[in-house]
Amino acid sequence: MAGGHHAKADPQRVLADPRFAQLSALVVGEGETRVTALLGDANRRAELPGVMWRDHLLGTTAVGISDGPTAYWVAPDINELTVDRRFLPQDPYRASDGRMEANLVCSRGCPYECTFCGAAASMNADIAIRTRTPENIIAEMHQLNRRYGCTAFRAVDDLFLGARRIIHPAMEAFTAARIGERYVWDATGRINVLDREDDTVLDTLRANGLREVALGIESGAPRVLRAMDKRITPEMTLTVTHRLLERGINVKGYFILGYPGETRGEALDTVRHVRDLWDLSDRLPGTFRASVFTFRPYPGSPVFNNLVKQGYDPEAMQTYHDVDLTDHGADEKMRERDEFNFTTGQQFGEVPLTQLNDWLAELSREQHERTNATGAVNA
Ligand code: SF4
């Protein structure tokens, strides 16, 4: 069996790949219930929606078809799914601050449309957006605490703090369960949503143990942010980050250099934006850390499809090379960071890749030094 993002974005390509000649089921989308059924009886593939395979006799692609409701198979109730961590040797883990830490998934799906993202709503028509009940999330925290001594959690969802109707009930339940007295937790969030929340809500998030929020900041240029459909402005990011950092909530920001059509001035706006946010955190209790990447068009994202329409070669856009952050070997401590940064070797904006990679290496090295200086978790 195979599945995952590429399988969903381009199933025909995977099925046609000779390296997958032995594949008996390509499971498109959320796999838990269908994989369980297939492990019990591989012949069920014909009745499972979103399962594909190659019919070698006919040379065609076959697809499973369900004659009943499909929600259980393609978008199961995530309150019903539990993770058996005996099979996850790296989770929970001892974090660098000494805490036992575990990853949680609190929600699935995202209603937003960021053009570079494979989780964009229009690319995932099969995904109903679901959030676990706060009680269900709290029960898993307590269970991980009892079994493994976990006191720190990371909600690694595409987007957890992404809507008022999710944040408010979750925080009411966290307050009632006095989560902030026992645990700390990190989560993904949206700048425009946090911008609309008043100070009391941010205070409550902090009191309930929110340690770090990961935000898609992406660019310091308003035009590029509009092209990405981010629904934020650089000023909004500065305000929200300020309000979080002054409460001691750390912020991790993601940035993209070299988005299609980005000018040199716009790329430099992003470099400056990172520096402004570092400056802010130098004056406030929370820490800000930047994760910067050069633009890579992911299959299954709106911008990838647009670039294909403009004539870019989809194969070339999926051929990756490493990015050297070590200053040509001079800075060995950056070697371990290389794995997070790779490139298609193609230029999509005005600035040549060599220049973008120099800025990227410069920002990454500075972040590395800042992290070491503050002892912040480096992930
Ligand atoms: S970048 Fe984040 S907010 Fe935007 S579509 Fe992807 S998951 Fe949603």
Measured CA to CA, the distance from residue 289 to residue 214 in angstroms comes to 9
Greater model confidence, 329 or 53: 53
Kindly report the backbone phi and psi dihedral angles of residue 68, in degrees, each rounded to the nearest multiple of 5, phi listed first: -125, -165
| pLDDT per residue as tens digits for the range 193-214 | 999 999 999 999 999 999 999 9
> Residue 157 above 80 pLDDT?
yes
Span from the CA of 119 to the centroid of ligand 1 (angstroms): 6
| pLDDT per residue as tens digits for the range 124-141 | 987 889 999 999 999 999
Measured CA to CA, the distance from residue 357 to residue 106 in angstroms comes to 35
SS3 state at 26: strand
In this structure, the residues whose C-beta lies within 6 A of any atom of ligand 1 are 110, 112, 114, 117, 119-120, 158-159, 190, 216
Distance of alpha carbon 343 from its chain centroid, rounded? 18
Greater model confidence, 99 or 371: 99
Tokens for 366, please give them. Answer: 């500075």
Q: What was the pLDDT predicted at 185?
A: 98
What is the chain's mean pLDDT, rounded? 93
> Residue 378 above 50 pLDDT?
no
Q: Where is 53: in which H helix or E strand?
A: strand 51-55
Residue 374 confidence class, pLDDT cut points 50, 70, 90: confident
> Residue 358 above 60 pLDDT?
yes
The reported pTM is 0.92
Q: What was the pLDDT predicted at 131?
A: 94
Residue 260 confidence class, pLDDT cut points 50, 70, 90: very high
Q: What was the pLDDT predicted at 321?
A: 81
> Residue 339 above 60 pLDDT?
no
Number of the ligand 1 atom closest to the C-alpha atom of 188? 2
Task: Return the C-alpha torsion angle 203, 284, 155, 201, nearest 10.
Answer: 20
- Enumerate domains of the chain plus CATH numbers: 5-73 (no CATH), 80-374 (3.80.30.20)
Measured CA to CA, the distance from residue 161 to residue 336 in angstroms comes to 30
Span from the CA of 190 to the centroid of ligand 1 (angstroms): 8
Distance of alpha carbon 151 from its chain centroid, rounded? 22
Kindly report the backbone phi and psi dihedral angles of residue 184, in degrees, each rounded to the nearest multiple of 5, phi listed first: -120, 155
